[in-house]
Amino acid sequence: MADEGDWYYESAGSPVGPISADEFAVKRSTAVITPDTKVWKPGMDDWAPLRSVPSAPGGEMAISALHAPPDTTTQCDECSRPTPKDELLAYGNLQICTACKETFVDKLKQGVRVGGGPWRDRKAILFYADTDLPKRCLKCNEPAEHSITRNLSHTNHLLLLLVLIGGLPGILIYVLIAFFIRQRAMVTAYLCTKHRKSRTLFLTINWTVTIVLTLTLILLSVMTFANNDFLIVVISLSVLGLLICAIAGLRLQLFRVQKIKDGPVRASGPSRKFLDSLQPWRDS
């Protein structure tokens, strides 16, 4: 069409143009020109709002947006993603998208709350409090029977600095603050026999080393000849060992909570395999 570059549109009561069809489309997409904007090109009898000019670039789009039913999508009750109504399956008063059907049926069988997640978002798992996760191992994603219920809480780890700087009074202040400001969420997760055993082993080792080092420190601190160089080395190594145990303990947690309030709990910890088996979170 040779005459495509002759469009005019009205802006603040004055005609603007001529502009090309491409320019016209850009102005449509940036809403400089809306379905209500009056447009004209040579050959038209008079100026007319874009909505009544199907031949205008983007005109059909404007018209279809105008005539489309106001809302053709509904949120899936399982994953909360907006889904075209005709792709949703109705179960009682629940609307489930086809992608969630399998998860949904599994949940029904297990008597698990629908719509509470879990979902995956990059390296994190998301779920609402009081969720029973799928009966699969968090580490290897194999079917798993050993349930572990965790009362997750989230406190600002910066507060741990109090402990490092403040010594015993710091610990007391930390415990008090942590008790009052933390939020909690219950979750039940599963581990296979192999992974539960290895976890128990690592936890036992970690606690044993922690206790031995702590006792060593207490014992050394009550000794009066502590300005001996050898003792200072032992004390330093013990403190270092305790720090390593604390970090290892954090790594051994099944869930490392990143966020607990305002919407679902967000945590890292489950393996890639486990996460990949979950529905993606609606915002990802």
168 token code pair? 């015993």
Contacts to Zn ion from residues 68-127, by CB under 5 A? 76, 78-79, 97, 100
User: Does residue 18 have a cis bond before it (omega within 30 degrees)?
Assistant: yes
Task: Give SS3 for 261.
Answer: coil
User: Does residue 169 have a cis bond before it (omega within 30 degrees)?
Assistant: no
Helices (H), the chain: 21-29, 59-67, 101-110, 160-181, 193-222, 229-252, 272-276
Q: Smallest distance, Å, CB 98 to Zn ion?
A: 8
Residue closer to Zn ion (CB basis): 258 or 277: 277
Query: Residues binding Zn ion: what is the number (CB under 5 A)?
Result: 10
Residues 144 and 68: their CA atoms lie apart, in Å, by: 48
Q: Smallest distance, Å, CB 128 to Zn ion?
A: 15
CB 265 within 8 A of CB 128: yes
CB 258 within 8 A of CB 126: no
Residue closer to Zn ion (CB basis): 10 or 121: 121
Residue closer to Zn ion (CB basis): 137 or 257: 137
Q: Pattern of binders to Zn ion over 36-65, x per CB under 5 A?
A: ------------------------------
Q: Smallest distance, Å, CB 284 to Zn ion?
A: 13
Strands 183-191 and 131-137: parallel
Alpha carbon separation from 178 to 10, 159, 174, 269 (Å, rounded)? 62, 8, 6, 22
Q: Smallest distance, Å, CB 126 to Zn ion?
A: 14
Choose which of 107, 139, 154, 266 interacts with Zn ion (CB under 5 A).
139
Q: Smallest distance, Å, CB 211 to Zn ion?
A: 28
Residue closer to Zn ion (CB basis): 191 or 245: 191
Residue closer to Zn ion (CB basis): 79 or 245: 79
Taking CB under 5 A as the rule, does residue 140 contact Zn ion? yes
Choose which of 41, 51, 195, 266 interacts with Zn ion (CB under 5 A).
195
Looking up tokens 């874009």, which residue turns up? 50
Residue closer to Zn ion (CB basis): 83 or 238: 83
Contacts to Zn ion from residues 224-253, by CB under 5 A? none
Q: Smallest distance, Å, CB 247 to Zn ion?
A: 23
Nearest to 243 by CA among 200, 205, 210: 210
Residues 112 and 80: their CA atoms lie apart, in Å, by: 17
Residues that bind Zn ion (CB under 5 A): 76, 78-79, 97, 100, 137, 139-140, 192, 195
